[in-house]
Amino acid sequence: MYAIVESGGRQYRAEEGHSFSVEKLPYEVGEQFELSNVFLLSNNGEVKVGQPTVEGVTVKATIVEQYRGKKIFVWKYKSSKRYRRRRGHRQSYTRVRVDEIIVG
C-alpha cells in the first residue's frame, strides 16, 4: 500500500516503513504528525485518485531528523563590466518516516 501526499507544495510517495525528505517542517525530532493532503491511494492494485484529494485518508509520520543540504553557489557575472558576485545557499530539510496509512 502506498499514497501520494503533498508537503511544501511538492508531492511524495509514502509507503509504510519508508522515509523521505521534505522541506523543513516546524516539528521536533521524534514528534508524530499527520499528512492529510493525499492525492492518490493504491491498495493491493486498487487505485483511488482524489479530486483533488482522497477523502478520509491520512498518513501518520514521525520526524526522524532535521538537517541541511549541500551548499550550492550562485554566481553572477557580467563580462567587461567588472561585476562578479558569489552567493551561497543551504536548504533545510526534514527526514520523515511513514508509520501508517489510515483509510477511514
Domain ranges of the chain: 2-67+93-103
pTM: 0.85
**Residue 27: band (very low, low, confident or very high) from pLDDT cuts 50, 70, 90:** very high
Write the pLDDT tens digit of every residue in 5-26: 999 999 999 999 999 999 999 9
**Which amino acid is present at 30?**
G
What is d(CA 41, CA 48) in angstroms, rounded to the nearest whole number?
5
Write the pLDDT tens digit of every residue in 32-89: 999 999 999 999 989 999 999 999 999 999 999 999 999 999 999 999 999 999 999 9
What is d(CA 96, CA 21) in angstroms, rounded to the nearest whole number?
6
Look at residues 35, 44, 46 and name the one whose alpha carbon lies nearest to residue 11.
Answer: 35
**Residue 104: band (very low, low, confident or very high) from pLDDT cuts 50, 70, 90:** confident
